[in-house]
Amino acid sequence: MFRYVAIALYNKQRMGKEAKAEIAELRETLRRHEHLYYVLDSPQISDAEYDQLMNRLRELEDRHPELVTPDSATQRVGGKPREGFVKVRHSSPMLSLDNALNEGELRDFDRRVRQLLGDASYRYVAELKMDGLSMAAFYTRGVFRQAVTRGDGQAGEDVTENARTIRSLPLRIPADLPELEVRGEVIMNRRAFERLNLERDEQGLSRFANPRNAAAGSIRVLETQVTAARRLDYYPYFLFVDGAPLHPSHWESLEALAAFGFKVNPKRRLCADVEELIQFCRHWEARREELPYEIDGVVAKVDSIAQQRELGWTAKAPRWAIAFKYAARQAETVIEDIGVQVGRTGALTPVAHLRPVEVGGVTVSRATLHNQDEIERLGLEVGDSVIVERSGDVIPKVVRVSSPGSGRRPFRMPANCPVCGGKVVREEGEVASRCINTDCPARLKESILHFASRGVMDIDGLGEVLVDQLVDRGLVGSVVDIYGLAAEPLAGLEHMGKKSAGKLLQNIERSKQLALPRVLAALGIRFVGQRTAVLLAETFGSLNKIAEADIPTLENAEEVGPKVAESIFQFFREPRNRVLVERLREAGLQFEHQQTRPKAGPLEGLIFVLTGTLPQLTREEAKARIEAAGGKVTGSVSKQTSYVVAGEAAGAKLEKAHALAIPVIDERKLLEMIGE
């Protein structure tokens, strides 16, 4: 007996050792691929392969919780939401920089530096001034330990768990030092920012005004999962040990950071003099729109740390650095009129018609005013002079009234829809006024544009000009009618020919293959954006199940609260929506969810074969359930098959199962195994 216990113990330890080695190897591999993907922007493996490695690591760590360490790739997104943030004092103040607003001021700065340094020669490091918030990150013996925001410069907030979700922030670095501090900028790039605002539109939440606010808001949320979904980035610009730079020059610090695996901005330059510095500033001012993130200027730092010490600090800022600030992309113009646009949900959006004006190199003649409340907040009337600004958003906005116009007139939301004449209603507690006519052509047009848009049904070529014609000529009276379009009438439309009509029909046909989450998002249910659609599809497995679910069942899905559940429930109770869904099914769209990623679950590693008619589930549904629980479904019975699920009138496959002695189960047993 003792012997068996001893052997079992020995086996466990041995397996523990093997697991330990495999875990270490997986972590290293994942670290390398994260660096390739998030820092160097040049992935070497597919997302699916990455997921596979990650799943394997998760599996091993689940089995050996004692081997989990905080620098493991699995530890980026933690568990429980926090109550609040703890204040932390900085090791040395995180001060700000003096600004130079033009070339003259930059030369003044250079003159001061030259005078203070006597005859010595010196160089500048020029870096882009990224528009985010600064954050310090601490590493103990190479392992990420803590992150603190700048706060008021003296003390900031401990945002460690949220910072951990930033994929470009390494959790482990090859630094053989007991303590290390990195300072840098947390930013949100333009794509992540636009995606976030679209999602917020869909959810009826207010937009973030610019990427900086979005980044600052995202690092300070209480649920780590929310920060993770926001896709922040971290670009470091200082490396300290005990509050002092580790290298003799700033340039070397930056190189060391890059060698540690940080995302140091490669758009930097070592400048021999102020002329080169000015050239760098001008170069990027002209090209700032091409960058994937927002910058608001250039930071110049004297390169030599010894010279930095010589120059020292004022009470507010270092004398060895300066921020060259680009002019704000603002301009003054006049509101000539305020029009109203009708959106997909019938929401009326007031739009300012501006006297055309150039803002940061782009001529602007429209600006959204969002809603009646926003107009009141601005105190805006037609005829006023206003300041317009372009930041992050492509759509410019009105910042404030600069001077009220003489003969100004207030804007009133119309009582009737400007497109169909239907009644306009503003419901209690809502900011938007809506046209309540569901047949309103403006709503239909917007619905089609949404349906066809990128990231939804991806129907290239179905743009505004075409949709206008399709609706105005009565060729399309409902979104689903696009699946019945024929080449001939299409080819006769303006800006269309035989060839583009053929291409469009091909794209429409191809959209039928898109997965269920796309279809769900395409329906335009309020609060159901792309992300929620994926979660719903994963939870329920089919559109039918979602359409039939009651509110408490809907709330079972991740991230679906009462408001979203109510909206989904109501959508599918509306007879016209039911007709739409039925017709989309007939058109051949995907209503069943194909699990893309094998998930860990009760059926993990098991292979099933389905045969005969099951009492409740269709073949597709059964397959989706098995896959959702981590199992696999194949078409024919072999020695590899774990179970054959047999229903009524099962035939040859059942016989083969008996011949190979493969266990045969029924639907009830299958559901039991899944845990339902």
Active-site residues, by number, are: 129
Task: Round to whole Å and give the CA distance between 57 and 30.
Answer: 9
Map the footprint of ligand IVH across residues 452-471, applying CB under 6 A. Answer: none
* Residue type at position 223: E
Contact between residue 72 and residue 53 where contact means Cβ atoms under 8 Å apart: no
Give the one residue of 90, 129, 390, 397 binding ligand IVH; rule: CB under 6 A.
129
Residue 589 CB, nearest approach to ligand IVH (Å): 47
C-alpha angle 237-184-193 in degrees, rounded to nearest 5: 125
Helix (H/G/I), strand (E/B), else coil: 537: helix
Residue 130 in the binding site for ligand IVH (CB under 6 A):
yes
Residue 545 in the binding site for ligand IVH (CB under 6 A):
no
Helices marked H in 203-266 — which ranges? 211-219, 224-229, 250-259
Map the footprint of ligand IVH across residues 218-237, applying CB under 6 A. Answer: 237
Residue 93 CB, nearest approach to ligand IVH (Å): 9
Burial class of residue 308, CB neighbours in 10 A (0-12, 13-18, 19+): buried
Residue 97 in the binding site for ligand IVH (CB under 6 A):
yes
Residue 293 CB, nearest approach to ligand IVH (Å): 11
Residue 127 CB, nearest approach to ligand IVH (Å): 4
Residue 76 in the binding site for ligand IVH (CB under 6 A):
no
Residue 250 in the binding site for ligand IVH (CB under 6 A):
no
The candidate with the shortest Cα–Cα distance to 71, out of 57, 85, 84, is 57
Residue 185 in the binding site for ligand IVH (CB under 6 A):
yes
Residue 369 in the binding site for ligand IVH (CB under 6 A):
no
Residue 95 in the binding site for ligand IVH (CB under 6 A):
yes
The nearer residue to ligand IVH, 237 or 451, going by C-beta atoms, is: 237
Q: Count residues contacting ligand IVH (CB under 6 A)?
A: 12
Neighbour order of strands in the sheet with 295-302: 99-100, 321-325, 295-302, 124-130, 268-271
Residue 337 CB, nearest approach to ligand IVH (Å): 39
Residue 127 in the binding site for ligand IVH (CB under 6 A):
yes
Residue 157 in the binding site for ligand IVH (CB under 6 A):
no
User: Which span sits near ligand IVH by CB under 6 A: 127-135, 415-423, 557-565, 636-644?
Assistant: 127-135
The candidate with the shortest Cα–Cα distance to 152, out of 108, 90, 242, is 90
Q: Which residue has the tokens 């606010």?
A: 213
Residue 328 in the binding site for ligand IVH (CB under 6 A):
no
User: Which residue pairs, CB below 8 angstroms and at least 24 apart, start in 66-75?
Assistant: 67/16, 67/19, 67/20, 67/23, 69/143, 70/143, 70/144, 70/171, 71/27, 71/143, 71/144, 71/171, 71/172, 72/23, 72/27, 72/171, 73/27, 73/30, 73/31, 73/34, 73/171, 75/164, 75/171
Residue 83 CB, nearest approach to ligand IVH (Å): 27
Residue 96 in the binding site for ligand IVH (CB under 6 A):
yes
Task: Round to whole Å and give the CA distance between 531 and 518.
Answer: 10
Residue 318 in the binding site for ligand IVH (CB under 6 A):
yes
Residue 204 in the binding site for ligand IVH (CB under 6 A):
no
Helix (H) or strand (E) holding 558: none
Residue 134 in the binding site for ligand IVH (CB under 6 A):
yes
Residue 299 in the binding site for ligand IVH (CB under 6 A):
yes
Residue 616 CB, nearest approach to ligand IVH (Å): 58
Residue 323 in the binding site for ligand IVH (CB under 6 A):
yes
User: Which span sits near ligand IVH by CB under 6 A: 129-137, 190-198, 201-209, 244-252?
Assistant: 129-137
Name the closest residue to ligand IVH (Cβ): 134
Provide the strand spans (E) within 460-566.
none
CA distances from 615 to 394, 607, 610, 664 (A): 53, 21, 13, 16
Contacts with ligand IVH, residue ranges (CB under 6 A): 95-97, 127, 129-130, 134, 185, 237, 299, 318, 323
